[in-house]
A and B are shown apart, each in its own frame.
Chain A
Amino acid sequence: MFRNSTVRDVLLRPTVAILAVGLLVTATGYAPGPALSALWRGSFGSPYVIVSATLLRATPLILTGLAVAIAFRASVWNIGAEGQFLAGATATAALGTLTGASLGWTSLPLALILGAAAGAAWAGIAAWLRRRFGVLEVISTIMLNFLALDCVAWLVRGPLQEPTHIYPQTSMLANAFNMPRLFATRLHAGFLLALIAAIIAGWVLRQTAPGFRLRATGANPFAAASAGQIDVARTATRAFLVSGAIAGLAGAIEVTGVTHALYEDISPGYGYTAIAVALLAGLEPYAVIASGILFGALEAGAAAMQRDAGVPSVVVSVVEATLILVFLIPRARERTA
């Protein structure tokens, strides 16, 4: 039901997004002119904001969007990218707090690997509950999101709190953990990693045997099991773990590239926006890059809109919801036909 969505589709969608923002802003009684111009200035208004706001925001969205897309393609309803992101961020921050600068140049790669492993482990709980007990992953992953948030809240006030015990956060990680910056802007190499991850995922899905098994499992598990002799349960579990690993990597990259510390509000709901990102991309990894950048722009623009035009940035959630619903209609018609 999500086939045939291309990068071109995604490029047409900003029109709908901008219309939705304009309508919504007008409907709630704000002046659309200043709001839309602030939206533009904050997202694509200058080379600096494109790189340092839009692409910076897009990085975690591309990765978490990719995580959701891979899971959904296997019909694994992983709503838990948020918790897996937090698990990855926590593992990275814990490694940094415990080792300081002692790991030298291996700090960053180890942090990324550990973050991905933590994300996979957190998703693994839900994957195990699904496979062993038949627990719906929609519910278990959401419970795990809340649980992850409570764990972070406790850790940054307890075992991982910075040494002065004043702020609810970890201390800043050593420089060895910093992602290299690109073009002397706020953008970091994590953006490139996100692009590489999307390209690899797209290639694996389209061109390789594991990718075929995943798509077959998602499209029709009964046919995949009987005609294709695919171990459907195992394929779904693996897709779940890979999905968690990518979301965990997103958390590790956010810590090493942007925040350099762990605190409670480290994610403004990336894992939830990721669902919209993945759906708008038609669950196609290459297209996730474009829709991730679109949502990065929307969120960066919304921040500017709140600052300059006084329009609350939560407006973006309504726009995301509208985009999802609008793009459900034609697909739904196909399905009924």
Chain B
Amino acid sequence: MNGLPDFLAATVRTATPLALAALGETVGESAGVINVGLEGIIITGAFAGLVGSITVGVYAGFLAAALAGAVVAALFAVFAIWFRADQIITGTAVTLFGLGLTGTLYRRAFGAGGAALRAATQHATSIPGLSRIPLIGAAFFGQPAITYFTYIIVPLLWWAMYRTRMGLALRAVGENPEAARAAGINPRRVQLAAVLFGGVMGGLAGGTLVLSQVGTFAEGMSAGRGFIAIAVVALGRWHPVGAAIGALLFGAASALQFLFQAMGWAAPYQLFLGLPYLLTLVALAAFGGRHAAPAALGK
């Protein structure tokens, strides 16, 4: 077994859904809204992706995942933005809602033993030339299309957030909604748009799990990725490029087991599973302090 290429490929694979979700959450948090419901959005996206894929096809699956993510995000927005209920509490409820609803619907539609269910999946597409680059080529350019979509979103988002009036309005609302209002911006509308964008991206992240990776749905298969994505946003210091790097770091920490196995280290498997969480905590302490956050975050 060839350790390093496997390690790199696994890093990019794990990072893709995290990056998608974290990029969306970066936009939402830049507008001052922290959405702990992201976990519920991802799992709903995953379920919708499965339904779309087995009834129509892979790309209908991604579309369904994005739509479902937006719908769950809208539920969050009604309470957190419209009613101005506490964001953390609303998000917690939305996560419970998504996990419970998808579990119930899945069992209802496919029975408890539906694990054998196979959705059509997106195959890896190698990019000619680039995928031949030694060492990193196959890992970064021999992935499913959704990974390349993620590569494109990162610079686009950077441009939209830092080089357009729309992006300025977004960040103004996150830093000081009152000042933004005085400047003629409607903070609620900006926050709603940001949260819905986060929902679409979170839904796509869930879709990626089913449609590009696992090929089927399992109850609770989001497995904390929504929460990890929120940590990745803080790691990336609320910047889209930072979020992408943060997702890659987390992906690398998760993929270390491949490298260690290849090197013949026999450390317990469960400890490897815990390693990414531990590294996230350390990295948050080092780089992710509250002081880098948008000033009005969570208010």
Nearest CB in chain B to that of A141: its residue: B227
Q: Report B-chain residues with C-beta under 8 Å of the C-beta of A315.
A: 100, 104
Q: Which of A84-109 contact B (CB under 8 A)?
A: none
Q: Which of B7-15, B161-169, B284-292 contacts A (4 or more CB under 8 A)?
A: B284-292
The answer to whether A28 has its CB under 8 Å from any CB of chain B is yes
Contact A129 B281 (CB under 8 A): yes
Do A325 and B281 contact each other (CB < 8 Å), given the known contacts A139-B231, A336-B84?
no
Contacts of A325 in B (CB 8 A): 79, 90, 93, 97
Partner of B96, one of A153, A317, A336: A317
Assess the A332–B284 pair: CB atoms within 8 A: no
Complex CA distance for A197 and B34, rounded to whole angstroms: 33
- How far, in whole Å, are A132 and B112 apart by their CA atoms in the complex? 46
Given contacts A312-B107, A321-B94, are A135 and B284 in contact (CB under 8 A)? yes
The residues in B between 171 and 222 inclusive whose CB is less than 8 angstroms from any CB of A are 219
Cβ-neighbour of A147 out of B83, B274, B285, B291 (below 8 A): B274
Question: Is A79 within 8 A of B105, CB to CB?
Answer: no
Closest residue of chain A to B269 (Cβ to Cβ) is: A154
Kindly state the separation between the CA atoms of A135 and B278 in the bound complex, as whole angstroms.
Answer: 14
Do B93 and A324 touch across chains, with their CB atoms under 8 A apart? yes
Choice from B90, B99, B219, B234 contacting A328 with Cβ under 8 Å: B90
Does B273 lie at the interface of the complex (its beta carbon under 8 Å from any beta carbon of A)?
A: yes
> Cβ of A47 < 8 Å from any Cβ of B?
no
Residues of B217-275 whose CB lies within 8 A of A: 219, 224, 227-228, 230-231, 234, 268, 270-271, 273-274
Say yes or no: B97 contacts A317, CB within 8 Å.
yes
Q: Across chains A and B, which 10 residue pairs bring their CB atoms closest together, nearest first?
A: A317-B100, A150-B274, A332-B83, A321-B97, A314-B103, A318-B100, A154-B270, A134-B290, A134-B289, A324-B93
State the B residues within 8 Å of A (CB). 34, 36, 79, 83-86, 88-90, 92-97, 99-101, 103-105, 107-108, 112, 219, 224, 227-228, 230-231, 234, 268, 270-271, 273-274, 277-278, 280-281, 284-286, 288-291, 293
Selected A-B contacts with CB under 8 Å, 18 pairs: A129-B281, A129-B284, A134-B290, A135-B284, A135-B288, A143-B277, A143-B284, A146-B224, A147-B277, A154-B274, A279-B89, A319-B100, A321-B94, A321-B95, A322-B97, A324-B93, A328-B86, A335-B85
